[in-house]
Amino acid sequence: MTISVDIEPVKTRQPKKATKSRSLTEKVYDQLRHEILRCTLKPGTELSEAELAARFKVSKTPVREALAALRLDGLIRTFPRRGYQVALITLGDINSLFDVRTILEVGAAEIATKRISEADLEELRRLAEVSYDPGTERTLAYFINANRDFHLAIARASGNARLVSLLERQIDELERFFYLGATLRDVNTETNKEHHEIVEVLASRDPDAARAIMIKHNNATRQGLLSALAQSMNFGDISL
């Protein structure tokens, strides 16, 4: 028995529309994420689909998709019949993220002492020199990126790609807190000093010393951030 099936021609416009939709979603997502991480959109800020759609000159669909992605990132909260809100900063968030980061960085530094090259050490020394002007967002962004590159470079020196990926996720989630901390107080001197100390320990190839200094550095960063946030009156939606 022969079965005859009529197959409609494939329409080429649909993929183009989907691609455009994804592009608009990414545009909205990237910009909002940038503003949230740099606290241009402060914790607790209310967001509206309609207002964002008007701002970005797009329909509500890419805005809704972008907000859904930011919610998965933990940067946005949703409320029935109320809309969206930039996630608050809590003591629990900071401590849990730093706990995980410390575990990952301690392990990365210990492994790196066995594998780090002279080229790696020179790159770390260069990154350890980067500073910023507290009143200039451009230099602050450069400083935050250099700090990120410094810590990820240590993880990469371990030769463990999975470890690098896990640490990258933790650093991304902490970026908003780093921006706040570096905005509320000048961390140039202490960061440069501690980073140079880390490099020299790695150069000594001593795994026990590497573990100890990474724990010390993460604890100092955590305490400095918490102190700055507790004393600040600029961010009323920080729950400490």
Domains of the chain: 13-86 (1.10.10.10), 90-239 (1.20.120.530)
* 120 three-class SS: helix
Question: Does residue 67 have a pLDDT over 60?
Answer: yes
For 170-186, what is each residue's pLDDT tens digit?
998 888 888 888 988 89
Supply the DSSP symbol for 81.
T
As a whole number, the mean pLDDT across the chain is 87
* Angle, vertex CA 83, rays to CA 78 and CA 85, nearest 5: 60
Query: Which pLDDT score is estimated for 8?
Result: 39
Chain-centroid distance, C-alpha 129: 21
Query: Which pLDDT score is estimated for 20?
Result: 55
Mean pLDDT of 112-128: 97
- pTM score, two decimals? 0.79
For 90-106, what is each residue's pLDDT tens digit?
888 899 999 999 999 99
Cα(218)–Cα(85) distance, rounded to whole angstroms? 29
Query: Which pLDDT score is estimated for 10?
Result: 35
Question: How does residue 22 score in pLDDT terms, banded at 50, 70 and 90?
Answer: low
The least confident of 7-16, 52-61, 190-199 is 7-16
The least confident of 2-11, 43-52, 122-131, 200-209 is 2-11
Alpha helices in 116-232 (DSSP H): 118-128, 137-157, 161-184, 188-203, 207-231
One-letter identity of residue 185: R
Question: Does residue 145 have a pLDDT over 90?
Answer: yes
Query: Which pLDDT score is estimated for 238?
Result: 53
Mean pLDDT of 58-66: 95
With contact defined as beta carbons under 8 Å apart, do 184 and 229 qualify?
yes
